[in-house]
């Protein structure tokens, strides 16, 4: 159940910050709610549109790994009805667009001003016509025993005003999903915090830190490990992919006969089967080491 709702109105459209695109992680509402330290909300009415949920770093907020959650409803092409739900604490990091007040309605027991996007810049600010209207609201929701605050931006395009209000009124708090993340099968990936990159190179599984002073290792199918980087005779490869998908903390990637697990501040990779089974390495932000299976 929602608690007190504070309403903040701004003539802006929250757009993803391009500089943060490298950190985008695909997720679900439940897993995203378990990842952030503020209440997360989702609509129970979605107009039959498919949702795509992502998590990324909030570049406008200083702190320990602050994240914002984006949910987009509709076709990836952008055609047809579209909804966008942006959440963060204390606010979502985005760039404003031209709009003007359209109507005031009651949402979650409070009066909220709905804005409509402009077809042209001010001072004219001609509104889109009919069902091509683009609407948005900005709210600040409090929920839970600690009454933590969440900045919520909801926007639409090709959705009628009545449908948009119904979606906004259906917002409910998400129950966090703390179940283990299912394994994925990725040749290239980044750790959850982006400090370590792993790839398949020359028949081996290798990982290295993304910092200037690199630490890393390469693992071969027979269990042989070659450490690289600072203090090692071998330098680490620098061809990491900053746009590779991120593992979640505690998640594993099973690919090419190697299993890599992101846990805490390290990535551990081992040989899955055969004579080298269980052998591997662990890469931290400031070191790398060889690990052997228990006898």
Close Cβ partners of 79 (under 8 Å, ≥ 6 residues apart): none
Predicted confidence at residue 7, as pLDDT, reads: 37
Look up residue 157 and give its two tokens. 């395009």
Least Cα distance to 165 among 45, 81, 3, 284 occurs for 45
Q: Alpha carbon of 283 to those of 130, 182, 213, 238: distances in Å?
A: 56, 22, 13, 15
Residue with tokens 């395009």: 157
Predicted confidence at residue 10, as pLDDT, reads: 33
Residue 186 half-sphere exposure, CB side, CA atoms within 13 Å?
26
Residue 36 half-sphere exposure, CB side, CA atoms within 13 Å?
30
Show me where the domains of the chain are located: 2-173, 189-291
The DSSP string of 137-181 is EEEEEEETTTTEEEEEEEEEES--HHHHHHHHHTEEEPPP--SPP
Per the CB < 8 A criterion, the answer to whether 74 and 85 are in contact is no
Consecutive 10-residue averages of pLDDT for the chain (295 residues): 34 34 74 89 96 87 76 92 93 77 91 86 62 81 77 92 95 91 88 91 89 92 93 82 85 94 93 93 94 77
Per the CB < 8 A criterion, the answer to whether 216 and 268 are in contact is no
Least Cα distance to 272 among 216, 219, 227 occurs for 219
């Amino acid at each position: 159940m929602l608690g007190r709702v504070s309403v903040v109105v701004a003539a802006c459209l929250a757009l993803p910050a391009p500089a943060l695109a490298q950190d985008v992680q695909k997720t679900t509402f439940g897993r995203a709610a378990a990842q952030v330290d503020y209440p997360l909300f989702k609509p129970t009415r979605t107009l039959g549109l498919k949702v795509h949920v992502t998590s990324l770093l909030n570049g406008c907020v200083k702190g320990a790994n602050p994240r914002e959650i984006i949910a987009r409803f509709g076709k990836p092409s952008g055609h047809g009805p579209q909804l966008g739900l942006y959440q963060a604490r204390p606010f979502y990091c985005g760039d404003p667009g031209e709009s003007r007040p359209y109507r005031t309605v009651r949402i979650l027991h409070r009066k909220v001003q709905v804005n409509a996007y402009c077809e042209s810049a001010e001072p004219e600010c001609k509104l889109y016509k009919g069902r091509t209207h683009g609407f948005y609201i900005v709210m600040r929701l409090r929920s839970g025993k600690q009454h933590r605050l969440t900045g919520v931006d909801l926007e639409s395009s090709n959705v009628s005003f009545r449908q948009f209000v119904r979606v906004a009124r259906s917002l409910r708090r998400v129950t966090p999903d703390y179940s283990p993340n299912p394994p994925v099968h990725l040749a290239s990936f980044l750790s959850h915090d982006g400090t370590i990159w792993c790839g398949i190179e020359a028949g081996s599984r290798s990982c290295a830190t993304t910092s200037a002073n690199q630490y890393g290792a390469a693992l071969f199918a027979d269990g042989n490990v070659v450490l690289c980087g600072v203090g090692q005779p071998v330098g680490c490869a620098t061809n990491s992919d900053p746009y590779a998908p991120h593992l979640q903390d505690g998640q594993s990637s099973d690919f090419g006969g190697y299993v890599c697990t992101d846990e805490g501040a390290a990535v551990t990779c081992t040989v899955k089967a055969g004579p080298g089974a269980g052998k591997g390495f662990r890469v931290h932000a400031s070191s790398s080491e060889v690990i052997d299976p228990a006898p």
